Amino acid sequence: MTEASSHDSPATSVHRRRLLQAGGLGALAMGLASHADARARPAAAVLDASAIVPRATLDRLAAQQHAIFNEGQVLPAFDPVRHAARNDVEVHRLSTWTVVPETRERVRVTGLLALPAGARGPLPVVSWQHGTILSFDQVPSGLVRLAEPGFTLRDGQDSSETLFNLHRLAGNGYAVVAADYLGKGPLRAGRGEAYGVRAATVQTCTDVLDAGLSALRERGVQPGPLMLNGWSQGGLNSQWLHQSLRRQGRAVAATAVQSPFNDISESLRFWTGAERYPDVEGRPYPKMADWVSLCLVVALGSYERNYRLDGLMRTAIRPEFQPLALKFWNDYRLDFDPASPFPTGSTLLVDGFFDRFTHDLNSRFLRHVADNRATYWAYDSPIRFYHGLADEAIHPVMACRPLASGGALASGVPVKRASHRATFLASLYGDADTLGGQSTVLDWFESRRASV
């Protein structure tokens, strides 16, 4: 893997688009007294926006986004017959309350509920965890606008990844519940997010899931087998959620994750160039993604905010990049000064950050990050890891570690020549050649559904 290098002016439109495509780069039961209360009384869900999206609209939008996500043309083109949705889809924006375990704040959060139009009776449910978004608004609940006349789905501004889940899963007989995450969406009220913060993330995803299940029951739908699906940051979030639900004794029929950064410590070292891995399939490995430096900024801001590490961003980030980082953490605007240097993953942090003591806050940050890794866990219900062999953010060595330690129910699906985005796309639309003879998430979920 070659070290991430300096790139052209971040003010260029190409660079802006690549940054916007991040993720793009997805608590266990202990310490969750508030969750025990929530389990005792069903989570209240408020549905404040709804629409019905025709299957033809889903097919059209999925075909457009498929062409964008199919980087390197590793997949065949979208097949309007084989990939067609079977039904129209109801979409609802929901809101509920969560209590943040790290800070004890009571916060209103939003999410999306989608299901086959007019569905009644039993229905399998997918809890979808989205990937990293370098904005406040590119969230699942925004897709309630899909049925608006003239609405155009914009890559980097709307949740294309959620659209794929609606098309392949809700469009084929599943209910889908998706949290916008803490600090995201229309009700964030200025609160920062909790990127890579385990307890806050799990609590939010659990409370939105429970609110979605409650709303389904109110609509005459009996929730059936529960599946989890997540990409990138959402892959990690799905691993956390899987373990939390199982520790509560809640059944999870199957979990699929794509390009998850299981071990945040290892991911940070890889993104900064402190850790290197061999080339794959005899090809030079792709250079580090441009957007990882902004992911690092969001991680530092999130840990400072939620773990009360006041001043972390100033002790961890090099002085020349602190104004840019602090501004981005507060407004997520990509209006960087083209005359000023822009940090890469390898230049953002202070010298020696991973090698020696640099500041007590930095040390505390690294300890929290290590506590939140999800690599070395045993899984007692099936989980499948889709990983790309040319993923610019998650090297296959990193993606495969949980396969060795996770036990017999953890399995892997390597995706040939696939980037971060193409890996995710292949998990939902891939063919036997792309997936090494293995099945897509939809087909695997169908097999697990039949076995429950």
SS3 sequence of 163-215: HHHHHHCHHHCCEEEEECCCCCCCCCCCCCCCCCCHHHHHHHHHHHHHHHHHH
Alpha carbon of 397 to those of 164, 213, 266, 400, 412: distances in Å?
27, 37, 10, 5, 12
CB-side neighbour CA atoms (13 Å) of 399: 28
Measured CA to CA, the distance from residue 368 to residue 102 in angstroms comes to: 12
Tokens of 366: 């690294």
**Band of pLDDT at residue 114, cut at 50, 70 and 90:** very high
Q: Is 238 helix (H, G, I), strand (E, B) or coil?
A: helix
Closest by alpha carbon to 209, among 178, 164, 167? 178
User: For the whole prediction, is pTM greater than 0.75?
Assistant: yes
pLDDT digit string, tens, across residues 195-240: 999 999 999 999 999 999 999 999 999 999 999 999 999 999 999 9
Strand ordering across the sheet containing 46-53:
46-53, 89-99, 106-116, 175-179, 121-129, 221-231, 254-258, 383-388, 410-415
Measured CA to CA, the distance from residue 194 to residue 213 in angstroms comes to: 24
Residue 228 bridge partners (DSSP): 127, 255
Burial (CB count within 10 angstroms: exposed 0-12, middle 13-18, buried 19+), residue 157: middle
Question: What percentage of the chain exceeds 90 in pLDDT?
Answer: 82
Average pLDDT of 234-255? 98
pLDDT digit string, tens, across residues 370-409: 999 999 999 999 999 999 999 999 999 999 999 999 999 9
Please tell me the predicted confidence (pLDDT) of residue 417: 93
Please tell me the predicted confidence (pLDDT) of residue 42: 52
Q: Which ranges in 357-409 belong to alpha helices (H)? A: 360-371, 396-405
Measured CA to CA, the distance from residue 193 to residue 174 in angstroms comes to: 29
Please count the residues of the chain: 452
pLDDT digit string, tens, across residues 276-286: 998 887 788 99
Average pLDDT of 321-328? 96
Closest by alpha carbon to 312, among 271, 250, 360, 379? 360
Tokens of 429: 């639309």
Residue 44 bridge partners (DSSP): none
At the fourth CATH level, which superfamily is domain 19-269+373-451? Alpha/Beta hydrolase fold, catalytic domain (3.40.50.1820)
Greater confidence (250 vs 5) lies with: 250
The backbone torsions φ and ψ at residue 128, rounded to the nearest 5 degrees and listed phi first, read -100, 130
Question: Does position 1 have pLDDT exceeding 60, yes or no?
Answer: no
Please tell me the predicted confidence (pLDDT) of residue 257: 98
Mean pLDDT score of the chain, rounded to an integer? 90
Residue 230 bridge partners (DSSP): 129, 257
pLDDT digit string, tens, across residues 82-100: 999 999 999 999 999 999 9
- 3-state helix, strand, coil split of the chain in percent (to 5) is 40, 15, 45
Q: Is 12 helix (H, G, I), strand (E, B) or coil?
A: coil
Question: Does position 245 have pLDDT exceeding 50, yes or no?
Answer: yes
DSSP 8-state code for residue 146: G
Residue limits of CATH 3.40.50.1820 in the chain: 19-269+373-451
Please tell me the predicted confidence (pLDDT) of residue 3: 33
Measured CA to CA, the distance from residue 440 to residue 432 in angstroms comes to: 9
Average pLDDT of 291-316? 97
Average pLDDT of 14-33? 40
Please tell me the predicted confidence (pLDDT) of residue 190: 92
Measured CA to CA, the distance from residue 49 to residue 146 in angstroms comes to: 12
Q: Are 142 and 158 in contact (CB under 8 A)?
A: yes
Question: What percentage of the chain exceeds 70 in pLDDT?
Answer: 90
* Block residue for tokens 């993604």: 289
Question: Does position 24 have pLDDT exceeding 50, yes or no?
Answer: no
Please tell me the predicted confidence (pLDDT) of residue 451: 83
CB-side neighbour CA atoms (13 Å) of 282: 0
Please tell me the predicted confidence (pLDDT) of residue 28: 29
Alpha carbon of 18 to those of 22, 63, 134, 294: distances in Å?
7, 20, 11, 12
Measured CA to CA, the distance from residue 50 to residue 145 in angstroms comes to: 9
Question: Does position 331 have pLDDT exceeding 90, yes or no?
Answer: yes
Strands 254-258 and 383-388: parallel
Tokens of 296: 């690092």
Strands 254-258 and 121-129: unpaired
**Band of pLDDT at residue 363, cut at 50, 70 and 90:** very high
Residue 98 bridge partners (DSSP): 107
pLDDT digit string, tens, across residues 141-190: 999 999 888 888 999 999 999 999 999 999 999 999 999 999 999 999 99
Weakest-pLDDT range from 43-52, 112-121, 306-315, 409-418: 43-52
CA 105 to chain centre: 23
Question: Does position 293 have pLDDT exceeding 90, yes or no?
Answer: yes
Please tell me the predicted confidence (pLDDT) of residue 337: 87
Measured CA to CA, the distance from residue 35 to residue 28 in angstroms comes to: 10
CB-side neighbour CA atoms (13 Å) of 88: 9
Please tell me the predicted confidence (pLDDT) of residue 339: 83
Average pLDDT of 329-349? 92
Q: Are 196 and 203 in contact (CB under 8 A)?
A: no
